[in-house]
Structure 1
Amino acid sequence: MQKVIAGCIALTIMILSLSFAGCSKTETVQEEAPLVRSQTIKMDAMGQTASYSGEVRGRYETQLAFQVSGKIIRRNIELGSVVNSGDVLMEIDAKDVQQTVNISSAQVASAQSQLGLAQSNLERYRKLYEQNAISRAQLDQYENTYEVALATVNQSTAQYAQGANQLGYTSLVADSDGVISNVNVEAGQVVSAGQAVMTLVKGGEREIEINVPENRIDEMRNAQQVNISFWALPDVTTVGKVREISPVADKVARTYKVRISLINPPAAVNLGMTASVAVGSSTSQQAVYIPLAAIYQTGDTPNVWVIQAGIVSLRPIKVGAFGDGKVQVLEGLQDGEVIATGGVQKLREGQKVRL
């Protein structure tokens, strides 16, 4: 009996030993490296790039208008027509102007007839005065009549010339070669003198017109590089130069119109095309722009997570200008380094990550 009890006790001790041995064994859990968004640092001397939408316009644009009022009876051009200097673009009904010219012509004939009579009388009475047949006062009267008739002739002749000019103004003539970019009236419409009826783009020089907010004007004035692309020509890019900045803001949009000249414009660029203008400002110090989401703030010090050999380490940086969701880094990063740009609040020093 004692041998049986001793054997049970030994078996119990063996089972308890195995149980404690199993509890003391620790399983190692491997943590999976998180996947992070990253950016490779590229240092250059260019600042942040601003992009604007614009339209292809002509360098010289003229608003054409009639110099007389009337009803348009003929329109010889269409939108986009190519015209040459001297081409008749539109015509106004000239009936009333022609009648004015006829009246002026009749007045000239009448004045010339009166002048002829005054001259004959003056010559006749001058001879009588030489013969002491009339007084000096009578001769002065006929000399004055002659001078009045001569002035009347000059006046009526000038009125006739003015009427003839008005008759010529009933035809709107192109003053240079170009393209019609806008037409505001149609045949049958009555227009007044000086009313703009169309726009003539002279020559072949092209520009881009953009609207710039007031906080970007200084940047635009100091722009060192302007790159232009076209929505209709995805494979075409060209370089431009800021030519003109409006000194007055638009009353409604509060933006400033800026004209950018195209340097060696592609032949496929046409008036009215939509253009995208990227403007970069030059800085004297090399810098890089990173997303604001890459900043990890510790107290008053901005930091970024630098990734080396798949391991992150926190590094303080010196920041510059902010704008458009990005921040300028002036110090703390080197060309070619890789930083984390997403989920930076969940990273820790020395943690392994996957790019």
Structure 2
Amino acid sequence: MQQLKYLNKIPKKQIVYGLAILLVIGIIGGMIWKGQHQPQPVADVVSLVRTTTVGMTNAAQKYTYSGEVRGRYESQLAFQVGGKIVKRHVDLGSVIKAGDALMEIDPKDINQTVNANAAQVYSAQSQLKLAENNLNRYRQLYAQNAISQAQLDQYQSAYDAAVAAVQQTSAQYMQGTNQLGYSTLYANSAGVISAVSAEAGQVVSAGQAVLTLVQDGDREIEISVPENRIEELRQATQIQATFWALPGVTVDGKVREISPMADKISRTYKVRISLINPPAEVKLGMTAAVAAIHPGSQQIAVIPLSAVYQTGDTPSVWVVQNDTVSLKPITVSQFGDNQVQVLNGLQTGDVVVTAGVHKLREGQKVRVTGDNL
């Protein structure tokens, strides 16, 4: 209350002047404080970088396909007669020679057929002998004018029919004998058994595949090629095959055949690559990689992998121009040996930063120490 009474006694004019003076003092003090604490501009940092000069070249394009080592000739073996398998003489992977017995079926029914055919042959031969004797007797009677020509012709026809019957029954007997021989499945050439599709005790029909035989000789690689690479594969100047189980082994090859129809499921074309002088270590079923190389007309640049600066999904490089760096996006192709092939984005003579790319920013001044290539 005392203070309020004191303020009421001070003239209002003096109070207004005092407040104005305090406001001016505060503004001046704030300006002085801001000037003392305002950050001073810092000079741009000049980074020391290492660079390389880009050179464009014509590079051959290379595409690699995975495949499997197969035989040139693969035969699906089957019995020529049906029956029950009673013996199997080979296993998966067995090495066989031409003429080796592979499987047998029960020959009981075939034996009965052969016996029946043999009896028919014996009967037909007896009828032929009777017809021959009758013909000889009636020829003598005809010579004595005891019978007519018509009667002689009847016995001549009976003899001819008996001869035909012997030939027919003999052919049936030979057919049954062949079927008896077909009851054992023999190898038609040397090779290795790559698949077994039937076991002893199983009843199979004629023509049903029971074994797969890969013949000795040429070795091939079967690969699957998409439809947009077929023509490039045909025009390949060089084809090389490597093997996962044989590091360091490279074998030249050539395209032997290309399937005219695409696979219904994968929509790729089966291609057979013949191997030229493969070593003995190349076995059936090995995993192989086939590289098809053909010349390309596209200009590419090869730069160190350390020069690539990845920003999101787009690879880029820092290009130096007038001691200033700028980020330029590129399109890369293949990687290898700490290098990368660039398809688009660079030109001959471009200076690219190869060290310290993650410490730079757009428009920064740099000092070049020299090329590293």
Q: Is structure 2 residue 113 aligned with structure 1 residue 100?
A: yes
Q: Is structure 2 residue 69 aligned with structure 1 residue 45?
A: no
Q: Which residue of 1 aligns with 2:255?
A: 242
Q: C-alpha separation between the residues in 1 aligned to 2:223 and 2:191? A: 23
Question: In the TM superposition, what whole-angstrom CA distance separates every residue of 1:223-243 from its partner, at most 9, and x where no partner exists?
Answer: 122222212222322222111
Residue 73 of structure 1, CA deviation: 0.8
In the superposition, relative to structure 1, how do residues 50 and 159 fare at CA in structure 2: closer, same or farther (>3 Å)? same
SS at match of 2:218: strand
SS at match of 1:64: strand
Q: Which residue of 1 aligns with 2:235?
A: 222
Q: C-alpha separation between the residues in 1 aligned to 2:280 and 2:38? A: 82
In the superposition, relative to structure 1, how do residues 289 and 182 fare at CA in structure 2: closer, same or farther (>3 Å)? farther
Structure 2 gap ranges (5+): 1-31
Q: Is structure 2 residue 116 aligned with structure 1 residue 117?
A: no
**TM-score, normalization by structure 1:** 0.77
- The total of aligned residue pairs comes to 326
Give runs of aligned pairs for residues 224-303 of structure 1, distance below 5 A: 224-284=237-297, 287-288=300-301
Residue 97 of structure 1, CA deviation: 0.8
Residue 209 of structure 1, CA deviation: 0.3
SS at match of 1:235: strand
Q: Which residue of 1 aligns with 2:94?
A: 81
Letter in 1 for 2:179: Q
Given candidates 199, 216, 227, the residue that maps to 1:186 is 199
Q: C-alpha separation between the residues in 1 aligned to 2:86 and 2:220? A: 34
Q: Does the aligned pair in 2 maintain the 1:316–1:332 contact within 8 Å?
A: no
Structure 1 stretch 229-238 or stretch 54-63: which is displaced more? 229-238
Q: C-alpha separation between the residues in 1 aligned to 2:241 and 2:282? A: 11
Q: C-alpha separation between the residues in 1 aligned to 2:82 and 2:355? A: 67
Given candidates 139, 148, 170, the residue that maps to 1:157 is 170
In the superposition, relative to structure 1, how do residues 40 and 74 fare at CA in structure 2: closer, same or farther (>3 Å)? farther
Letter in 2 for 1:45: A
Letter in 2 for 1:333: T
Question: In the TM superposition, what whole-angstrom CA distance separates every residue of 1:87-123 from its partner, at most 9, and x where no partner exists?
Answer: 1111111111111111111100100000000000000
Q: C-alpha separation between the residues in 2 aligned to 1:34 and 1:117? A: 116
Which of structures 1 and 2 has the bigger CA Rg? 2
Question: In the TM superposition, what whole-angstrom CA distance separates every residue of 1:131-169 from its partner, at most 9, and x where no partner exists?
Answer: 111111111111111011010000001111111111111
Q: Which residue of 2 aligns with 1:30?
A: 45
Question: In the TM superposition, what whole-angstrom CA distance separates every residue of 1:232-260 from its partner, at most 9, and x where no partner exists?
Answer: 22232222211111111111211100011
Q: Which residue of 2 aligns with 1:197?
A: 210
Letter in 1 for 2:228: N
Q: C-alpha separation between the residues in 1 aligned to 2:367 and 2:113? A: 92
Structure 1 gap ranges (5+): 1-16, 297-302
Q: C-alpha separation between the residues in 1 aligned to 2:367 and 2:292? A: 36
Letter in 2 for 1:135: S
**TM-score, normalization by structure 2:** 0.74
Residue 352 of structure 1, CA deviation: 4.0
In the superposition, relative to structure 1, how do residues 214 and 342 fare at CA in structure 2: closer, same or farther (>3 Å)? farther
Letter in 1 for 2:292: V
Q: C-alpha separation between the residues in 2 aligned to 1:222 and 1:31? A: 52
